[in-house]
Chains A and B, each alone.
Chain A
Amino acid sequence: MSGIGIVKAQRAHFATPLTLRSGAVVPAFDLAYETYGSLNAAKSNAILVCHALSGNHHVAGHYADDVHNEGWWDNIVGPGRPLDTERFFVVGVNNLGGFHGSTGPVSPNPATGKPWGADFPLVTVDDWVKAQARLADLLGIDSWAAVIGGSLGGMQALQWAINLPQRVRHSLVIAAAPKLTAQNIAFNDVARQAIITDPDFHGGHYYEHAVRPLRGLRLARMLGHITYLSDDQMAEKFGRVLKTGAFSFGYDVEFEIESYLRYQGDKFAGVFDANTYLLMTKALDYFDPAHHFNGDLAAALVPATAKFLIVSFTTDWRFAPARSREIVNALLKNKQKVSYAEITCNFGHDSFLMDDPQYHALVRAYLERVTL
């Protein structure tokens, strides 16, 4: 049951060209967004929620004509919830390169009139911060009370604090990492290869062929999904349980885990765009605020003036607690204000989406201390 009730997606158009980190220029762009609660007179109570790999601007509530389409982080946003919409004005945005209403590969390329497809420029977390700042300008928000996100969303919260320090008072970085490891990138590349080698991919211009690389996208999601869950949780939920109770000595679905993963893969491939998936995984791979500082994360964080809450989850092996501690240690080195919690939770990387009592109590307690 959603807390906030019926919500409406909005779309903002930005006519000024945006120069991306790659050097490419997006001549104009749209961002889809939603807002919950009311902006106070001082415009000091706004929280930006940044989404992860497969998220979008629909963070909370449901649509009047689609009551079952509940926002992806509804359990934490709403009246009386940790991101309390009776106190805060919460903004969800679909990132540039998405396909839920923001400009991305499915949008028409003004140069050709056809969908951008694979020609849509690769975007980085820096670029997203720039684009999101345009939305903040439009909404009249000079400084966010907080920027919050999990996983790739947490990376945006961190980047905001570095790139636009005067515009972020608190940065909540959840289940994130300061950069991907070779293993993380390897998983992403297998996912990309699954999509790119799908015969229906057509070099990223599949829209013109009226097909979609569903097999590749399905495989990419199945692989990704394995990395979002913990070994313990999988063992507990599925174990070695067989669908029919006995081996069938064939390649059809036998184990429950196979059934689950295939279902998740199919469901995702049915609703997500492959080019956006590719682009989001590259944004993850490129993320590394310390890149221009010889790998010194503390040096990269020096400009940040925000206070930080860093949260990790014990069973998250995609971005393990040690990765969050790298961020914490860099902030400590700089004597920056930071709190860190390591939440005991069984749901692996996906824990950040769960309503674990300690986790939600912590976010609630932290945000209650935020002065408006």
Chain B
Amino acid sequence: MNTLARPDFQVIASWVQPGERVLDLGCGDGALLRLLIETRGALGYGIEIDDANVLAAVKNGMNVIQSDLEAGLSGFEDASFDHVVLSQTLQAMRHTEAIVFEMLRVGREAVVSFPNFGYWKHRMDILQGHMPVSERLPYQWYDTPNIHLCTIADFDDFCARRNIVVKERRVFDEGRLITEEHNFLGSLAVYRITRG
């Protein structure tokens, strides 16, 4: 995986201090873990359900646990990680709320990134009468794995209602950091959250 195509990776790396313990949920081929281990000296584990990804992560030399995130993180002790990361997967989860709580149980803090449904191009698509299709939402309505899309404003509301503290938020579009009008100009949001 080309890490440059994943601006959230660099942000996440900047939030991880050397030697910290990271759990990457839906770790794919382990590219983020590898980045965190190689550049931040992190101790990392990944969770992945897909056979091909588990194999790729093992090939990458990562610690990967084959498991279904929808079943939660049982087996992982409370506060056993510094960071629990869910990178561009939240919107594809069935038990969205449950996994966020699980992340905050197992991790001192959680990092969540997701495509912003409020991005202006997505709004344009809808105004023109179509479901959005973009770089961050590359699927058609009939083949998308994304079942819980939200906007940045929606996620902020969710955190406020669930007593979750947003420590930091970074928003990107086409790899560039967005500094204003996040919910309109940003196509990708990266949150750093903790229990309130």
Chain A: residues with CB nearer than 8 A to chain B? 309, 325, 328-329, 332-333, 335, 337-342, 344, 358, 361-362, 365-366, 368-369
Contact = CB atoms under 8 A, between A and B. Distances in A.
A361 B54 CA distance: 11
Contacts of A328: 65, 75
A342 B65 CA distance: 9
Given A339-B63, A341-B66, A332 B76 contact: yes
B75 to A, nearest CB: 4
B21 A335 contact: yes
B21 A340 contact: no
A362 B75 contact: no
Nearest to B49: A342
A362 B59 CA distance: 8
B15 to A, nearest CB: 20
A333 B51 contact: no
Contacts of B77: 332-333
B58 A365 contact: yes
12 contacts: A325-B75, A332-B76, A332-B77, A332-B80, A339-B63, A340-B65, A340-B66, A344-B51, A358-B51, A366-B58, A368-B59, A369-B58
Query: Do most interface residues of chain B lie in helix, strand or loop, or is the interface mixed?
Result: mixed
B103 interface: no
Kindly name the residue among A329, A335, A340, A369 whose own CB sees the greatest number of chain B CB atoms within 10 A.
Answer: A340
A339 B62 contact: yes
Nearest to B65: A340
A361 B59 CA distance: 10
B114 interface: no
A309 B62 CA distance: 11
A335 B43 contact: yes
Contacts of A344: 51
A338 B55 contact: no
A368 B61 CA distance: 9
B45 interface: yes
B64 interface: yes
B128 to A, nearest CB: 43
A366 B55 CA distance: 9
A161 to B, nearest CB: 15
Nearest to B60: A369
Contacts of A332: 45, 65, 75-77, 80
A-B pairs, 8 with minimum CB distance: A329-B75, A365-B59, A340-B65, A365-B58, A341-B66, A369-B61, A342-B66, A339-B64
Contacts of B55: 358, 361-362, 365
B63 A338 contact: yes
Contacts of A358: 51, 55
Contacts of B61: 369
Given A332-B80, A362-B54, A339 B59 contact: no
B63 A337 contact: yes
Nearest to A336: B63
A63 B89 CA distance: 53
Contacts of A340: 64-67
B37 to A, nearest CB: 11
Interface in B151-196: none
Contacts of B64: 339-340
B23 to A, nearest CB: 9
A332 B46 CA distance: 11
A335 B64 CA distance: 13
A337 B64 CA distance: 9
A99 B80 CA distance: 47
Interface string B29-69: 00000000000000101000001001101110111111100
B101 to A, nearest CB: 19
Contacts of B80: 332-333
B18 to A, nearest CB: 16
A192 B153 CA distance: 66
A362 B53 CA distance: 11
A309 B21 CA distance: 20
A329 B21 CA distance: 16
Contacts of B75: 325, 328-329, 332
A341 B54 contact: yes
Given A335-B21, A339-B57, A340-B65, 11 more contacts: A328-B75, A329-B76, A332-B80, A337-B63, A338-B45, A339-B58, A339-B63, A339-B65, A340-B67, A342-B67, A358-B55
A344 B66 CA distance: 11
Contacts of B43: 335
Kindly name the residue among B57, B61, B77, B80 whose own CB sees the greatest number of chain A CB atoms within 10 A.
Answer: B61
